[in-house]
Amino acid sequence: MPYDEKLADRIRIALRPRRGLSERKMFGGLAFLLRGHMLCGVVGADLMVRVGAAAYEESLARPHAREMDFSGRPMKGLVYVAPPGVRTSRQLGSWLERGLAFVSALPPKQGGDTRA
């Protein structure tokens, strides 16, 4: 299944000034990595965000969010957000900030792609 290129472009624009950002095809879509750690991505038309265990339940309670169950089992700390939940730049930015708050606290991944 192809991923939403327009959403990917919106993410690129929102994250553009950030150092250590890279992209990789994963999960049948496109993932954005920060210092080698997966931050977010686009799978089909959905945004995928890594929010971490501490923010997981709170994130699931937000409108248009659901468990990431790519493999048939929920992946704790990762959520899908349906298109209505990222319709505006403000909505998308809010989700990206949640992901950045978690991933920015992680140490750089050894051997990960940390290019600017």
| pLDDT given at position 110 | 75
Query: Does 112 have pLDDT greater than 90?
Result: no
Which residues lie across from 25 on neighbouring strands?
A: 30
Query: Does 53 have pLDDT greater than 50?
Result: yes
| pLDDT given at position 111 | 63
Query: Does 68 have pLDDT greater than 70?
Result: yes
Q: Are 51 and 75 in contact (CB under 8 A)?
A: no
pLDDT confidence bin for 49, thresholds 50/70/90: very high
**Average pLDDT value for residue range 45-65:** 97
Distance CA 36, CA 18 (A): 13
pTM score of the predicted model: 0.90
Q: Backbone dihedral region of 93: left (phi > 0), alpha (psi from -120 to 50 degrees) or beta?
A: alpha
DSSP-assigned letter for residue 83: G
| pLDDT given at position 115 | 46
**Which one has a higher pLDDT value, 81 or 19?**
81
pLDDT confidence bin for 72, thresholds 50/70/90: confident
Residues 46, 47, 48, 52: is their CA dihedral positive or negative? Answer: negative
Query: Does 100 have pLDDT greater than 50?
Result: yes
**CATH fold label, 5-103:** Aspartate Aminotransferase, domain 1 (3.90.1150)
